[in-house]
Amino acid sequence: MSFAVIQIVSQTDVALNLRRARHLLEQAAEAGARLAVLPENFAAIGHKDPALLGRTEATGEGPILPWLKRTARDLRLWIVAGTIPLPPEDNPQGRPNACSLLFDDQGQRVARYDKLHLFDADVADSRAHYRESDDYAAGQQLVVADTPVGRLGLTVCYDLRFAELYTALRTAGAELISVPSAFTTVTGEAHWEILIRARAIETQCYILAAAQGGEHPGSRLTYGHSSIVDPWGRLLCEQATGEASLVALRDADEQTAIRQRMPVQRHRRFSVPCLVTDRLE
């Protein structure tokens, strides 16, 4: 019942990023993790043409999807593949979604979550303006899936600011929630720990927050501080910056006890309308 979060400092070189990610996933598997979460944009960050990268992967000509299948199978490890750009399943020529994919330990893709909330914001850093919607289309559906370590809800980065999404995942039975991220240093210093701990406390879920943690092309800085938070809001492990493989144990009995002692889900007075799918393939 162990899981891991991976922190890396991705560059534009896809092959290099995949080599580094493989090394860190090997560490997670050797430490006994059954599931590992890679950060947002783990295979490439700052890519000039996400749509082209996504179409190449979708047509089977790219390196990332075959690498994910092979790595999951080789390491006998379930992998949440951070995010990669992929075109919508019903529109191969459309703008890509920022997709978080779940692979099982046989290398089969079992779920796809398209990031719902796109980061269009002004930040007081060297980049100043972030307009994710210029390159990506927003997703339309929540996704949960069963894994060996519990029922997993899938989210990405900016989603953290929308508590209703996490409440909906808890309603759909989530016991742990993945949050591959690439927070800026400015927003990370202000809000990262507060948000991941709040989402854990509200949902009484484990939060698996895998982040980018360093300097990227174009002088872009990400905050790091990858963490695993338990259902009581305690930080079980954390890595400030640089690369790391963090592993923690899920205590299912304690999680059940927390939910029984404080049954917040039963006490909710407001329902959250949502579309949730297991997206099993």
- The token pair that represents 109 in the structure block: 């893709």
| Position 252, amino acid | A
Q: Which residues of 95-126 are buried (b: 16+ CB within 10 A; e: fewer)?
A: bbbbbbbbbbbebebbbbbbbbbbbeeeeeee
CB 39 within 8 A of CB 33: no
How far is residue 33's CA from residue 207's CA, in Å, rounded to a whole number? 15
Whole-number Å distance between alpha carbons of 195 and 242: 21
Closest CA to 220 of 85, 45, 70, 64: 45
Any idea which residues carry the catalytic annotation?
Answer: 40, 115, 157
| DSSP letter (8 states) at residue 192 | I
